[in-house]
Structure 1
């Protein structure tokens, strides 16, 4: 029998590749090899399934934001690197969710879980923007944050697999070398800003 977690995984891949609006409960059932009733046994609606699928990622990004806010104005160079590392690790751990947030959040904001995701991402951006007076620094931070998220989200093939398959192979954005490079490049982009220079 297909578990609720397996259904969440299948649904997340399908929501990412075909879009939330283009995905039906029946399609998820077909991919899982179960009846529509079996999916509805675990999840009363497509929205409930989406929420269950992205909630672990939302909990993770909430922790990233809370740590950033606790650092306040005391964030030194090590603190910035710690944030960048945590942010990059989140992106690499949760590429499907990041892809969904980047590409579909505007059309899905009426869904509370998506609104929550937008709130966290806005919170991170506001934290950085409020500490910058220079427009060039603001652009630099926006590029570092959004660019790294987009690079990870856009680097993968999100075609939905059949039940039992491993996630679809990426196009190279995985492994320790990519992680190290993302951390280094983000840190270099942020280096000229007061956020990174604060000591």
Structure 2
């Protein structure tokens, strides 16, 4: 129950207008901090929400339905156009504040139900996705997001490299722990 309150407090903090404006003013803070913290807020609230409020875990018994929704929303929010629209349209920004915590909840519920081989495949796909995104953000000759500078785009690309390496290290740690 304590995790739920921490996640809810983090969500409310991120939704405050001055904090929201601060995070969205710089691309790397928008994508790698605000979105990741919204994901973490959802992950923290996920156990309580799934078990006590909506009981969604009974529809996600194998973990695969939740992962399919996670993958679609994850890919959507990695598109540069989605970030631009979140800055320009309040409805898309509201969708961001609902969908990213949702994928945090789904990820927590789904990953707990998968065996080590399936987790390895999911983490590999995430690492590959972040590596491809890093390539596009770093080596693109034009700005991908209209609301940010090209230097911001480079910082996001290097952030994706860091996250991809972190996911690979996480995979190796989990492989080591499973033996």
Q: TM-score range by the shorter chain?
A: 0.3 to 0.5
**With structure 2 as the length reference, what TM-score do the two structures score?**
0.34
Q: Which has the larger share of helix? A: 2
Q: Which has the larger radius of gyration?
A: 1
